[in-house]
Amino acid sequence: MAGNRNGATGSDKDFTFVNSFVKYLLFFFNLIFWVISLVMVAVGIYARTVKHAEATLTSLSLDPAVMLIVVGVLIFLVTFCGCVGSLRENICLLQIKSGSVDVFMSEIYSFTYLFIFTFKARQKVTEVINDAIVHYRDDADLQNLIDFGQEEFGCCGAATYLDWSNNIYFHCNQTNPSRERCSVPFSCCILSRNESVVNTMCGQGMQEREFAEAGKEIHTSGCIDILDDFIHSNMIVLGGIALGLAVPELVGMILSQLLMNQIKKQIELQQYNLNHSSDPWS
């Protein structure tokens, strides 16, 4: 009887709860995002290296290249934990990966909720845009990003086109020696569909004109109001995009949890067999 029990115990010890399909599916799932993160970091470093204008330290937080590098590094670290944790069946690394995803998703959806439904978030975004306006000429990538946003949304400045006076080059002051004094960027201009060549000086002196007169040549509405209207009018589309982004993360979380549970069961079984293998009456 004792021999039979020991034999049964030995066969139980060889049994494993870890499913290879779940293990390697989680690995390849994390590997895909790990490669994407490397590409993001490489593109960000390349953009910083070949940039023609040096960004000042005060505007580094607004540099799209730096933001791309930071996000890429964070994704790299999280997915690296997922890859190694799944291959090595390491619960600690899998918990770090799963916990990081939880925090990341919570931050994203909390920010989305606050941005859509609170006035405080609106003020914060306004501050960010105004800060970007201040450093408009300091960074080529930031300049292109602002121009793209103003052209696409048909807006100018944060709250109004007069916000461009916060930039030292566009500041509407008689003592300002800049040739762009009292002007706005060309991306604020209302362009004709038949206009093939953009007149980069079309915003010259627009801050000195009356609101109605300036509105004939440039977009006078701020980007905050336009962006707010765009979000509320496309809630279903944006919600679908958010859901689409959440699905891969949710799948990764489920796979991580399944693998962790299987590893824990295997450890418990091995510990049980170890404790009872020396007991002939167990």
Q: Write down the domain spans for the chain.
A: 2-119+234-276
Rounded to an integer, what distance in angstroms lies between the CA atom of residue 177 and that of residue 11? Answer: 87
- CA distance from start to end of the chain: 10
Q: Which position has the higher pLDDT, 170 or 174? A: 170
The pLDDT value recorded for residue 9 is 44
Q: Taking residues 243-257, report their average pLDDT.
A: 77
Is the model's pTM score more than 0.85?
no
Rounded to an integer, what distance in angstroms lies between the CA atom of residue 273 and that of residue 282? Answer: 10
The pLDDT value recorded for residue 58 is 43
Question: Tens digits of per-residue pLDDT, 52-106?
Answer: 444 444 444 556 777 788 888 888 888 888 888 888 888 888 888 877 776 666 6
Torsion region of 155: left, alpha or beta (phi above 0 gives left; psi -120 to 50 gives alpha)? beta
Q: Which of 75, 199, 197, 180 is nearest to 136 (CA)?
A: 180
Rounded to an integer, what distance in angstroms lies between the CA atom of residue 60 and that of residue 67? Answer: 9
Rounded to an integer, what distance in angstroms lies between the CA atom of residue 136 and that of residue 149? Answer: 13
- Which tokens go with 108? 């994203």
| Helices (H) then strands (E): counts for the chain | 9, 0
With a cut of 70, say whether residue 3 has pLDDT above it. no
Q: What CA–CA distances, in Å, run from 280 to 11, 267, 269, 275?
A: 15, 22, 18, 11
Question: Tens digits of per-residue pLDDT, 188-240?
Answer: 999 876 666 678 888 999 999 988 899 999 999 999 888 888 877 777 776 67
Grade residue 109 by pLDDT with cuts at 50, 70 and 90. low
Rounded to an integer, what distance in angstroms lies between the CA atom of residue 149 and that of residue 230? Answer: 13
Contacts for 5-8: CB closer than 8 Å, 24+ residues apart: 5/280, 5/281, 5/282, 6/277, 6/280
Dihedral sign, CA of 204, 210, 213, 218? positive
Grade residue 180 by pLDDT with cuts at 50, 70 and 90. very high
- Which tokens go with 223? 């980007």
